[in-house]
Structure 1
Amino acid sequence: MSLADSDRELVVSELDREPTRAEAALFENLWSEHCAYRSSRPLLSAFDSEGERVVVGPGDDAAVVALDGETYITLGIESHNHPSYVDPFDGAATGVGGIVRDTLSMGAYPIALADSLYFGEFDDEHSKYLFEGVVEGISHYGNCIGVPTVAGSVDFHTDYEGNPLVNVACVGLTTEERLVTAEAQEPGNKLVLVGNATGRDGLGGASFASEDLAEDAETEDRPAVQVGDPYAEKLLIEANEQLVDEDLIESARDLGAAGLGGASSEMVAKADLGAHIELERVHQREPNMNALEILLAESQERMCYEVEPDNVERVREIAERFDLGCSVIGEVTEGNYVCTFAESESGERETVVDVDASFLGEGAPMNDLESEAPPEPESDLPDAALTDAFDAVISSPNTASKRWVYRQYDHEVGVRTSVGPGDDAAIMAVREAEQGLALSAGGAPNWTDAAPYEGARAVALENATNIAAKGATPLAAVDCLNGGNPEKPDVYGGFTGIVDGLAEMCETLSTPVVGGNVSLYNDSVAGPIPPTPTLAMVGAKDGYDTPPLSVAADSDLLLVGDRGLAADDVRLGGSEYLAQFDGSDRFPALPDDPAALIETLAAVADEDATLAVHDVSHGGLAVALAEMVTADAGLEVSIPGDDPAGTLFHEQPGRALIQTDAPEAVRDAFDGVAPVVELGTATDDGRLVIDAGERTIETDAATIRERRATIDRELA
């Protein structure tokens, strides 16, 4: 680890002396891109993070949103991209552990996880190795701690070959009385470290996450990857619940990036306070650790609590009850952030850090980077046989069944899961508020690679459509913004596009973006990743009942929201169809009034006459129709328009298939909001028949299931 020359000059000027070795390392980590957002913070003001229900917005460990006057949810997301390349199992597992502890630090109990995963081409052996390891790490950690993984996405794209992405979101549950924040409250309060002992794992993790992956990263950067212990995390979850129940915590922060130094300095900096920490008091699992190692190790399953002096003993008792380590490491002060260290042999105490906490946390200068707008894609459409295209698109790993992934996750633990993975959105039963909480999470690298701004707008609309298809309306969102090396103008231009596009659509949908994470320098010898915005969005509805995704026999099937058909301007840009056949095109135009469309779709989905609803997006109408067919119920549909391939395979979001007993009522509801097209009817024979003018596609549920089992066949 080394502090950049320009940063060192700034630190020397502020301190009026050379920094100590520990100070230099602390600045290097906390001023890294991963912690300080030096390249992205100037762009993030585009997001609207305020709303009537927003209790705590960006800047804390997790956001807090009110479901009603008494019940709050927390929402957070983070990336563990570089660690998951170096060590897929531990990298992904500790990503889960970290976002769960972010939830704990707000005084909340974790109730749901969502993971969005991005890898190189599925037929590449190294990509499959990473994929299997990441899924195993997520499932192991989540299953062991008893938090259900209920939503997410998996995408494969050649540009993730040297740098996969692992983005994990967590939803928690709390109340106004139980709410805790990361802002220190009072000088004289004690700082108490609870959880696993500190070792040497994860040293320099924050700085490691802020640089391109080198060719030898899998071996050379292994010490920067943390090692998780889910059983200790489960104990920490329950201990934290007890501490909050007894009102023993004044503020809290989990130990993630930059370890103890990051957590403790950020707590006091938020309140313009300081701290005095005696580093040798930290309970350690390895001998002869020096001050820098204790300060910056990113050992997992640790929390830093601010505790009133009279409550310290009770905190210690609870920690011991749950077999967790507990150390009183210092106290909150009105001065600088000071860390001292006493050598065990000599007993001499040395001051290793003495800096202003606010300067440490907020003093990093922002980067002024050049931005180059991406070129407009040209139209180069393939000429593939319709039946061949249908088979290729529905069996692509990107659109195929993800059952191999989510069947490894315990998605029912906690007995709140009303709708689990494999549907448009998950539904969690929040009985305390008698509401269903919808959760959708994901991105679309084909979209944002083809058109960063328009693709990011589409990602936001797609997640909102998923939620509306379950009869819920969007409430709030958090984002994970992944990009390559921002020092490259074309890469930074694409990143700027996804920020602006996501912010614009979320504001249009009146959905505040209440928190998030930025991960840059996702470059490797294989090149930069596509600009990748992952959005985790929650919505709410009365009760927990939702329309199914699959059709039942009889009644009409309608397609709503297809702007391309209505305007006779079907665009295939960003589609899986073009990816399969090496074509290009402009990105589809989105609905004129997406907010009204989402509101109307949610209302129609909740009507008694609505029998099934499914959003239309990845893989287009072809995949959506295939997913709705079951062994007991089929579909006979006619494709409108003069371009059957375009109609079947374009991926404009904001569309939905609705099976209904009251088609005229649906038309009336969407009148003036979005076009409605009658496609056909449901049958009782389990067959899918698509009349595309001169050509007809005929198949059945069993054949569709077999073709869509691409991942299962390869990895089962």
Structure 2
Amino acid sequence: MTLDTVKHATDTPDAAQPWAELGLKQDEYTRIREILQRRPTGAELAMYSVMWSEHCSYKSSKVHLRQFGEKAPENDALLVGIGENAGVVDVGQGYAVTFKVESHNHPSYIEPYQGAATGVGGIVRDILAMGARPVAVVDPLRFGAADHPDTKRVLPGVVAGVGGYGNCLGLPNVGGEVVFDSCYQGNPLVNAGCIGVMRHEDIHLAQASGTGNKVILYGARTGGDGIGGVSVLASETFESTGPAKRPAVQVGDPFQEKLLIECTLEIFAEKLVAGIQDLGGAGLSCATSELASAGSGGMRIDLDTVPLRDATLSPEEILMSESQERMCAIVEPAKVGRFLEICEKWDVIATVIGEVTEGERLEIFWHGEQIVDVPPRTVAHEGPVYERPYARPAWQDALQADDAGRLARPGTAEELRAQVLRVVGSPNQASKAWITDQYDRFVQGNTVLAQPEDAGVIRIDAETNLGVAVATDGNGRYAKLDPYTGTQLALAEAYRNVAATGARPLAISNCLNFGSPEDPGVMWQFAEATRGLADGCLQLGTPVTGGNVSLYNQTGDTAIHPTPVVMVLGVIDDVTRRTPIGFGEEGQLLYLLGDTREEFGGSAWSQVVHDHLGGLPPAVDLDREKLLGEILISASRDGMIDAAHDLSDGGLIQAVAESALRGGKGARLVVPDGLSAFTFLFSESAGRAVVSVPRSEELRFTDMCGARGLPATRIGVVDGDTVEVQGEFGIPLSELRTAHEETIPALLA
């Protein structure tokens, strides 16, 4: 077979090429020919196909994502924003924290264990590439109906993959979510986030500058696993009969990644790299083109020097492979020897595969023959930009008109009690300990709070107790009812969860999970969600530092609920002052902060009791969220509260049940004047939290709330071993615990 060199491509302009099979459209293939002034070689076609895929190029979402920059709030803490491997914020004392959340959805449906494991591995390398030591991971997960047979296939594999990879790396898993809904039946969402810590001076960027500097590929050998991987797989809708495109899902080796992490951190410590990039989606195609595009020159690569696990791989396959545990570094010639020594010490394969050149071209050779000659920006940063048509779906008005207020409410105290137990024991509200117990949450000894707390809290300085908090949230039911408001509610909940621990929210990352962008209704959902998030971040002062878009999450014509997942990072000056959710001491007073209204659209109660989705989601008031956050942070810092729990899915009774079970202490509740017991317990009004206040601090706390204008209603006391709603019912903690903790094990047994 004749090698498809640049010269051969020039001489054979009419040769047939498999552009459609690689996911390119006719006009995209035509544009590639216009850029090159000839037909592409097979290797060039492979590079453009993966880099111009939806997953890598954001071609359908770019026009909307620009708002995150255009509406970005001023924030002195932001050190590195959108455009790099991950965002970086200043958390004080010379420390910087980098964080990001990404998706590995489609691969995790096909190969649950490896899809989830390599999702963790990929996000960890993104954090490492910024110059940081990874210190914790989080995993927002969504599956189909809890009782569906395929959920028993997908969920255990995903959980084992997340836990197996993260545990082997020695990284605590401190947060995330697990949500069940039939809309995710054929499209589970496996989002993975990571946090890393570094000093300000250790920040590294992905760029190749300095003519003559060497390009070093180091880490695992390149194999046939992951060819096309997420870059192609995540850019097409599954057919209703099952996945149509099944490129090999990446295979992870966490022990190799652990060596790669320690090796890379030692290389950073000796300041041996001028630029660095991890190899994730699109593999070498991405790393070489992005490094060259962001640098000041060109790049030459000798592809035949790449260490392989499979000697039969073609040049195109090597460029498309998404084999894991690989990094690409730009190193000055004088430092190459020491770089290779460190790699050898850690038993990490390292190979010089090319160098930075004077020109403006990315040139790749195979045994001396040129197979790629492209302007790197056209591959990495100048792909197609689509202004997809979008329109409010015809069914949206009817959905919103089907208000949850019409649903039958409990008529007796016995019915109310039974519905409390049903909600608390429902799959989405039940304890996820069966899942989270498979994760090591306390390895490294710096975990201060972890699931099922409102946010994970990690100490980053043992002497000063400086720490960071992180929470991820998203409610697809709210977003289905109103994508703009639903996305702001996700932002508000994550912000509130961080503040409830006593940490000050700083910035966000996001993972935007939606159906096919070729559906105008889905694109309307996406446009509204990004507008809502951009507006919300501007109002809260929390800039978007980066993130991920995952489209084509649908089976046939059926899309998932729009599911924007928001990750909020906050800083806490002293982790010993953090606030947990558990009620810790009898006699403390319970206060409800915020206003409770008749808001049941998209609520847990409407789903569990009536299998209903309709109406409008709760109203969002971001100024109130900001005020609530300030109160929670001040009260935590000054010792005015001993426990705090945000109110969200399931309403007040869900929060009280979780806090009571977490602390092993019961609660006596009194329904406030003007509210029915039903609304008091189940409303999902936003901007609320429940706190336990030592009696000695009650006056100071209520004075602070009054002075700031935050409603604070005394609703009860921590007491006994029962959750009692006076005049209505009582539920012993033992009965509550059984309902809360036995659901998930029974479903997955």
TM-score (norm 1): 0.95
| Residue 70 of structure 1, aligned match among 79, 86, 94 | 94
**1:214 matches 2:249:** no
Distance 2:525 2:23 in 1: 29
Note the alpha carbon deviations across 1:8-59, whole angstroms, 9 max, x for none: 1111112111111111121111111111111111111222275201111111
In 2, Cα distance between equivalents of 1:632 and 1:230:
37
Q: Is the 8 A contact 1:208 1:224 kept in 2?
A: no
Between 1:628-637 and 1:656-665, the stretch displaced more is: 628-637
Kept after mapping to 2: 8 A contact 1:446/1:576: no
Check conservation: 1:563, 1:589, Cα contact below 8 A: no
The residue that corresponds to 2:352 in the other structure is 328
- Provide closer, same or farther for how the CA distance between residues 50 and 248 of structure 1 changes in structure 2, counting only shifts above 3 A: farther
Give the alignment of 1:398-547 within 5 angstroms.
Answer: 398-431=428-461, 434-525=465-556, 527-545=558-576, 546-547=578-579
Contact 2:176-2:471 at 8 Å conserved across structures? yes
Query: Is the contact made by 1:291 and 1:341 (CA closer than 8 Å) also made in structure 2?
Result: no
The equivalent position to 1:395 in structure 2, one of 425, 430, 452, is 425
Shift, 1:104, TM fit: 1.1
The alpha carbon displacement at 1:628 in A equals: 1.7
- For residues 336 and 185 of structure 1, do their structure 2 counterparts lie closer, same or farther at Cα, with a shift above 3 Å needed? closer
Distance 1:99 1:126 in 2: 26
Report the CA distance between 1:586 and its aligned residue.
2.2
Could you report, residue by residue, the CA deviation over 1:235-272 in whole angstroms, capped at 9, with x for unpaired residues? 00110011001111111000011111111110110125
- Is 1:669 matched with 2:707? no
Q: Partners of 2:242 and 2:611 in 1: how far apart?
A: 32
The equivalences for 1:350-389 within 5 A come to 350-373=369-392, 375-376=396-397, 377-378=400-401, 379-380=403-404, 381-385=406-410, 386-389=416-419
**Equivalent residue number for residue 582 of structure 1:** 611
Residue 550 (structure 1) aligns with: 582
Which residue in 2 is equivalent to 1:28?
49
2:109 matches 1:85: yes
Q: Larger deviation: 661-670 or 517-526?
A: 661-670
Which deviates more from structure 2 when the two are superposed, residues 636-645 or residues 271-280?
A: 636-645
Distance 2:418 2:27 in 1: 58
Deviations 1:105-149 (Å, cap 9, x if unpaired)? 111100010100011110101022211110000000000111111
Q: Which moved more, 1:666-675 or 1:273-282?
A: 666-675
Distance 2:297 2:732 in 1: 67
When residues 216 and 285 of structure 1 are mapped into structure 2, their CA distance, relative to the original with a 3 A threshold, is farther
Find the aligned partners of 1:700 and 1:303 in 2 and give their Cα distance. 55
1:659 paired with 2:692, answer yes
Q: Which runs of 5+ in 1 are unaligned?
A: 344-348, 565-569
Q: How far apart, CA to CA, are the structure 2 residues paired with 1:249 and 1:217?
A: 45
Per-residue Cα deviation, 1:498-531 (whole angstroms, up to 9, x for no partner): 2122222222211111111111111113711111
By how many angstroms is 1:331 displaced? 0.6
**Aligned with 2:575: secondary structure?**
coil
Q: Report the CA distance shift for 1:13/1:90 in structure 2 as closer, same or farther (over 3 A).
A: same
Distance 2:709 2:489 in 1: 18
Alignment match, 1:639: 671
Aligned equivalent of 1:705: 737
**2:18 matched residue in structure 1:** none
Q: Which residue identity lines up with residue 507 of structure 2 in the other structure?
A: A
Contact kept? 1:635, 1:682, Cα under 8 Å: yes
Q: State the aligned residue count.
A: 701
Question: Could you say what secondary structure the match of 2:92 adopts?
Answer: coil
Cα distance in 1 for residues equivalent to 2:43 and 2:241: 27
What is the distance in 1 between the residues matched to 2:381 and 2:467? 39
Q: Tell me by how many angstroms 1:629 deviates.
A: 1.4
Q: Indicate the residue corresponding to 1:37 in structure 2.
A: 58
The CA distance in 1 between the partners of 2:23 and 2:618, in whole Å, is 46
Contact 2:99/2:509, CA 8 A, preserved across alignment: yes
Distance 1:2 1:337, change over 3 A: farther
Deviations 1:356-403 (A, max 9, x none): 011112222211212222524121432143223212211111111111
The aligned residue for residue 277 of structure 1 is 301
- Cα RMSD (Å): 1.7
Give the Cα separation in 2 of the matches to 1:575 and 1:561. 18
What are the within-5 Å matches in structure 2 for residues 122-133 of structure 1?
A: 122-133=146-157
- Tell me if the contact between 2:98 and 2:197 (Cα under 8 Å) persists in the aligned partners: yes
Distance in 1 between residues matched to 2:456 and 2:537, nearest whole Å: 20
Distance 1:456 1:531 in 2: 9
Higher mean C-alpha displacement, 228-237 vs 608-617: 608-617
Tell me whether 1:311 sits opposite 2:342 in the alignment: no
**Offset, 1:308:** 0.5
* TM superposition shift of 1:599: 1.2
Alpha carbons of structure 1 residues 50 and 138: separation in structure 2 relative to 1, 3 Å: farther
Pairing 1:564-603 to 2, within 5 Å after superposition: 564=597, 570-580=598-608, 581-583=610-612, 584-591=614-621, 592-603=623-634
Cα distance per residue 1:430-454 (max 9 Å; x no partner)? 1166312111112112221222111
1:228 Cα offset (Å): 0.5
| Equivalent residues in 2 for 1:606-645, closer than 5 Å | 606-630=637-661, 632-640=664-672, 641-645=674-678
Contact 1:445 1:532 in 2 (8 A): yes
Partner of 1:239: 263
Q: Contact 1:32–1:210 at 8 Å: present in 2 too? A: yes
Q: Distance in 1 between matches of 2:227 and 2:572?
A: 44
SS at 1:133 equivalent: helix
Instruction: Tell me, yes or no, if the aligned pair for 1:3 and 1:24 is still in contact at 8 Å.
Output: no
C-alpha displacement at 1:292, in angstroms? 0.7
Name the aligned partner's letter for residue 614 of structure 1.
H
Partner amino acid for 2:670? S
CA shift for structure 1 position 2 = 4.6
What's 1:346 paired with? none
1:563, distance to aligned residue in structure 2 (A): 4.7
Q: CA deviation at 1:223?
A: 3.4
Post-superposition offset of 1:217: 5.1
State the TM-score, normalizing by the size of structure 2. Answer: 0.91
Q: Is the 8 A contact 1:99 1:170 kept in 2?
A: yes
Cα distance in 1, alignment partners of residues 432 and 167 from structure 2? 18
SS of residue in 1 equivalent to 2:582: coil
In structure 2, the partner of 1:94 is 118
Distance 1:550 1:354 in 2: 61
Once the two structures are superposed, the pairs formed by residues 137-216 of structure 1 within 5 Å of their partners are 137-205=161-229, 206-215=231-240
| Residue 107 of structure 1, aligned match among 123, 126, 131 | 131
> d(CA) in 1 for partners of 2:322 and 2:548?
18
- Could you tell me which amino acid in structure 1 is paired with residue 689 of structure 2? A
Following the alignment from structure 1 to structure 2, what is the Cα–Cα distance between the partners of residues 646 and 158? 27
- More displaced stretch, 518-527 vs 243-252: 518-527
- Equivalent residue, structure 2, for 1:688: 723
SS of the equivalent of 2:458 reads strand
* 1:688 maps to amino acid: V
TM-fit CA distance, 1:562: 2.1
Counterpart-to-counterpart distance in 1, 2:305 and 2:240: 39
SS at match of 2:153: helix
Amino acid at match of 1:35: C
Partners of 1:293 and 1:207 lie apart in 2 by: 13
Indicate if the aligned counterparts of 2:73 and 2:541 stay in contact, CA closer than 8 A. Answer: no
Q: Is the 8 A contact 2:211 2:357 kept in 1?
A: yes
Residue type of the alignment partner of 2:730:
E
Structure 1 residue 352, shift from structure 2 partner? 1.1
Aligned-partner residue type, residue 355 of structure 1:
V
Contact 1:162 1:525 in 2 (8 A): no
Q: How far is 1:646 from its partner? A: 2.6
Map of 2:413 onto structure 1: none
